Amino acid sequence: MRLEIKDNSEDLEKRLQSMERLGKMKVKVGLPADAGAHLRFILAIQEHGAPVMRIPSRRVVGPALENESTREKMAEAMADALRAAWDGDPDGAYNSLEEAGQAGADGIRKYIDAGISPANSPVTVSGGWIWNRIAKKGVYVSGKGFNKPLYDTGELYNAFGYEITEE
């Protein structure tokens, strides 16, 4: 029995270029750069809390991406990207990176849909009078009408996405 291995140098070059390009790419999940300062501010307040405004900390991005199901979906897509790059298919690798980013963004929204603790206060839900400690007077707050933290207008919820950058 005789074993003969042949390799096409053109395929090797394509594989090398594809692997090098994949090594320079990053998938960033969360709020994309074009989300704007207003949404970044809202997310920062939600993630870290604002005691003066009586907003508790509600971490969402980190815990959502640490979810086992989300991590598995992202890891599977990343493995597909590596396989595609190894096969010399840069477009396939890029598409798989997009799948990984989309899985992360969907995971964040799924995490929010499942409910985030702590729940909104009764005043936030149904409205009422609160004491404004800064202005030192009572202020009427109209309620949201529902108890779903991190989902008011849907602007922040819908803004979660991903970016693929190449260094």
Read off the pLDDT of residues 40-71 as tens digits, 9 standing for 90 and up.
998 998 899 888 777 888 899 999 999 999 99
Q: Is 101 exposed, middle or buried (0-12, 13-18, 19+ CB in 10 A)?
A: buried
Instruction: Label residue 147 exposed, middle or buried (CB < 10 Å: 0-12, 13-18, 19+).
Output: middle
Q: Can you tell me the distance from the alpha carbon of 68 to that of 111, in angstroms, rounded to the nearest whole number?
A: 12
Three-class DSSP category at 160: coil
- pLDDT exceeds cutoff 70 at 4: no
The pLDDT, as a whole number, for residue 12 is 80
Ranges 128-132, 134-138, 161-165, most confident:
161-165
Say what percent of the chain tops pLDDT 70.
91
Confidence of residue 7 (pLDDT cuts 50, 70, 90): low
Q: Is the model's pLDDT at 103 over the cut of 80?
A: yes
Rounded to whole angstroms, the Cα distance separating 61 from 59 reads 6
pLDDT averaged over every residue in the chain: 86
Query: Would you place residue 160 in the very low, low, confident or very high pLDDT band (cuts 50, 70, 90)?
Result: very high
Label residue 151 by pLDDT band (50, 70, 90).
low
CA torsion through residues 63, 67, 157, 56, sign? negative
pTM beyond 0.75: the answer is yes
User: What average pLDDT does the segment 70-91 reach?
Assistant: 94
Residue 64's nearest CA partner among 121, 118, 113, 120 is 113
What are residue 132's DSSP bridge partners?
137
Confirm if 160 and 108 have CB atoms less than 8 A apart: yes
